[in-house]
Structure 1
Amino acid sequence: MQPSHPGMTPYPGQPFYGWYPPGGYGLDPSDALVTPPGAGLGGWFARCVGAARRGWRPLLPILVLTQALPAAVLSVLVLAVDPSARWDAQLASDSAALPANFWSDLATLLVVVLGGSLLLGVVQAVGWAAGTWVIARQAVGESAGLGAALRYGARRALGLWGWTLLITLIVTFGFCLCFLPGVYAAFALALAGPVYLFERHDPLSRSHRMLRDRLGLLLGRVALVGAAVIGFSLAASVLESLAILPFGTTPLDSPGTAVGAVLTIAVVAVLTLPAYLAQLVGLVVTYAEQRAHEGPVNAAQLAAELG
């Protein structure tokens, strides 16, 4: 029989099911979270849908509070300090000179964008950890309330945020070198977040090793998740750009247009929830499937590993 993942033991009182002959894997074909080897894309997709159906009641508030709402607040702040409309007006009258207060306006914009993004990353890390905890606990029939999930997410957020920041820098550097290295880095590190939450160590090399060990399978799963996330995000971005046009280039300058612009951003932020949900559920279920290929594992063990 295949050994379990190093350092991992079954959850007390939870047996492994459906043993294959020597050299095979231990699995439970009815496990709500772990896709057994050989179940294929259909098995993986069924578990993604199942996790979303079981968890949408606590997951949607978590994603609203930690993903959509903070992102909307950051968008409003960026809109408030964006000097591009004023720059365009000044350049139209004198294209040879820099707009007035150019450097101070640029510094303010960068502080808001970079500082806001860093703070947003911490809040989002709370949500990713909380959502992962909800998915794992519900897979074994345990309760997963909103308050308990957010408390768990807060405990794990800083570590997850640190690794996510490092991953972002690596992927960005890869895209700066050439497009393909960035794409490869994004795929290779896609499971680093779940690896950190479940295993607590070495998330970058573990995620990369999972890609190398089952290249085609993981590429396919992550590509599907990425396509869903990009599709929903692009649609929401285009919708926001079009919906905010009637409010002018400086919508926050007057109360009437400001209210319309803020409401538009809030509505579009809510419409991005399917992208966040697809990313969360898809990557957690993909991670569980990769663990099943390494050795016996079930949802109860994974829930216990989260703590």
Structure 2
Amino acid sequence: MPGAAYPVPGAAYPVPAGPGAYAGWFPGIDPQDPLVNPPHAGIGPWFARCTAALRRGWRQLLPIVLLTQVAPAAVIGVLTLVFSPEGEMATTPDGAPVLPAGFWGQMLAFYGVLLSAGLIFGLLQAAGWAAGTWVVARQAAGEPAGLGAAFRYGLSRALGLWGWTLLVSLLVMIGSCFCLLPGLYAAFALALFGPVYLFERREPIGRAWRMFHSRFGMVLGRVALVIAVLVAATVLDAVVGGISGAVFGVEPMKAVGTAIGATALAVFGALLAAPAYLAQQVGLVVTYAEQRAHEGPVNAARLAAELG
């Protein structure tokens, strides 16, 4: 509502004592809001809002995901086939391993190409996450959310979101270098940095960290559901990769027929991940909106306005 005063995000929000419906405990929170799950409403209404967001926005979200997430994944998959080191490891008569000729040069080219592609496509992916968030929030508020306007918004926020994504990825990677568990913990604790940056445009890492630890079990459970879908997509992609290796061999790009087949399977594996990208997009936005409701009155219209 224009002119209304709202608590600063992150401020404590008092909960009156006594029995009653959760909507009564949190004045200013509409229990029927299409995006904001009221505090303590539970996982069922959270899931219902996620599925409702997908029903409202799949016509806009699907092309965004295909262009900005699936297409880069498919290209990287094909580049992996093209630049994978060739040759098989041999052994000397005494059993010592012998690397194929030019192995280290091929490995350097392989990882150089993949790293360069990841950095370049990361900017496109950031634009897609921003565009999808804009669609989810605008549609929940009942406002127009055309595909062209979504991409324009996404491009306007892409560089900043890409930079924060690189920083978060670095933190997760550093944590994983010490042990897998710290890296996994960092991935969960910082999962909401994207929505925080887009809606608040300040301190995304610190805010995401505090949100996670302020309501540890709740945020962990929501994020775990999203990551479980991503893990399932990763497993499917690995299965497709295994099938490709079994059918077309370890060097499929040496012959036209096997190259076409392996490329088609790489693209197919990327397409299989589309539902996971959609779930990630919607699940994190709804989770962020729910956490904002714990901090003060908020609704879909206010969140849509915050995107600018």
**TM-score of the aligned structures, taking structure 1 as reference length:** 0.89
Partner of residue 238, structure 1: 239
Q: Please tell me whether residue 264 in structure 1 is matched to residue 265 in structure 2.
A: yes
Q: Which residue of 45, 48, 61 corresponds with 2:47?
A: 45
Q: Please tell me whether residue 172 in structure 1 is matched to residue 173 in structure 2.
A: yes
Partner of residue 282, structure 1: 283
CA distance in 1, matches of 2:83, 2:34: 47
Q: Please tell me whether residue 193 in structure 1 is matched to residue 211 in structure 2.
A: no
Report the AA paired with residue 48 of structure 1: C
CA shift at 1:232, angstroms? 2.2
CA distance in 2, matches of 1:107, 1:239: 26
The answer to whether the 8 A contact 1:34-1:292 is kept is yes
Partner of residue 31, structure 1: 33
Deviations, residues 78-119 of structure 1 (Å, cap 9, x unaligned):
210111x41x1x525785544222232122112111111111
The answer to whether the 8 A contact 2:83-2:110 is kept is yes
CA shift at 1:19, angstroms? 10
CA shift at 1:163, angstroms? 0.5
Partner of residue 8, structure 2: 5
Aligned residue pairs, count = 293
Q: Please tell me whether residue 121 in structure 1 is matched to residue 122 in structure 2.
A: yes
Q: Please tell me whether residue 251 in structure 1 is matched to residue 252 in structure 2.
A: yes
Q: Which residue of 68, 72, 75 corresponds with 2:74?
A: 72
SS of 1:38's equivalent in the other structure is coil
CA distance in 2, matches of 1:96, 1:37: 60
Q: Which residue of 81, 84, 88 corresponds with 1:82?
A: 84
CA shift at 1:275, angstroms? 0.9
The answer to whether the 8 A contact 1:55-1:138 is kept is yes
Partner of residue 299, structure 1: 300
Partner of residue 133, structure 1: 134
CA shift at 1:68, angstroms? 0.7
Partner of residue 183, structure 2: 182
CA shift at 1:56, angstroms? 0.7
Deviations, residues 188-208 of structure 1 (Å, cap 9, x unaligned):
101001000100010000001
Instruction: Show structure 1 runs of 5+ residues with no match.
Output: 9-17
Partner of residue 90, structure 2: 91
Partner of residue 205, structure 2: 204
The answer to whether the 8 A contact 2:56-2:139 is kept is yes
RMSD of equivalent CA atoms:
2.2
The answer to whether the 8 A contact 1:199-1:305 is kept is yes
CA separation of 1:97/1:20 partners in 2, compared to 1, >3 Å: closer, same or farther? closer
Deviations, residues 10-63 of structure 1 (Å, cap 9, x unaligned):
xxxxxxxx9966x73421111111101121111100100000111111111110
CA shift at 1:237, angstroms? 2.2
Partner of residue 17, structure 2: none
CA separation of 1:57/1:167 partners in 2, compared to 1, >3 Å: closer, same or farther? same
Report the AA paired with residue 84 of structure 2: D
CA shift at 1:255, angstroms? 1.5
CA separation of 1:291/1:6 partners in 2, compared to 1, >3 Å: closer, same or farther? closer
Partner of residue 152, structure 1: 153
CA shift at 1:305, angstroms? 0.6
CA shift at 1:71, angstroms? 0.8
Partner of residue 109, structure 2: 108
Instruction: Show structure 2 runs of 5+ residues with no match.
Output: 12-20
**TM-score of the aligned structures, taking structure 2 as reference length:** 0.89
CA distance in 2, matches of 1:277, 1:69: 14
Report the AA paired with residue 81 of structure 1: F
CA distance in 2, matches of 1:187, 1:97: 41
The answer to whether the 8 A contact 1:19-1:25 is kept is no
SS of 1:28's equivalent in the other structure is coil
The answer to whether the 8 A contact 1:25-1:292 is kept is no
The answer to whether the 8 A contact 1:19-1:27 is kept is no
CA distance in 1, matches of 2:165, 2:27: 32
SS of 1:224's equivalent in the other structure is helix
SS of 2:90's equivalent in the other structure is helix
